Amino acid sequence: MAAELHVELVAADRNVWSGEATLVVARTTSGDIGVMPGHQPLLGVLESGPVTIRTSEGGTVVAAVHGGFISFADNKLSLLAEIAELADEIDAQRAERALERAKSDDDAAAERRADVRLRAVAGH
C-alpha cells in the first residue's frame, strides 16, 4: 500500500471533501505547493486557485478554492477555505457568463473567482 495522507477540504459553510490522498497541489501566497505523505509540517495562506487532490484509489478531485489556510502535520492536511466548490459542482456555462459580466463591470474580484471556477472545471 502506498503512503497516504488524510485530507480535509472545508469551506466556511460545509465539509467539501474528506479522504485519503497521495498528493495535494494548492496555490499559496508563496506559490504553488505539492504536499505528499511525510512532508514537513506547514502552515500557509491559500490564494484563489484550483486545488488538485490525487486520491489513494488513483482518482483526481479538483476544487475551486477562494482564500483560506493550509495546514499539514502528522500526515493530516487541512485546507480551510473561505469558499470551495468541487469541479463537478460547477456549472461551466454559468461561470463563463459570470466571467463576461465581471469583465464588462470591471470587477476584478468577481473576474478572479469566475476564472478560478473555470480553471477547476478544465482541470477536472
Cα 86 → chain centroid? 8
State the pLDDT at residue 23: 97
Structure confidence by residue, pLDDT tens digits, 37-59:
999 999 999 999 999 999 999 99
- When pLDDT is cut at 50, 70 and 90, the band that residue 2 belongs to is low
Alpha carbon distance 51, 87 (integer Å): 10
- Whole-angstrom Cα distance, residue 36 to residue 34? 7
Q: Decide: 124 and 52 in contact? Cβ < 8 Å.
A: no
| pLDDT band at residue 8 using 50, 70 and 90 as cut-offs | very high
Q: Give the global pTM.
A: 0.88
Cβ count near 118 (within 10 Å): 19
C-alpha cell belonging to residue 80: 480551510
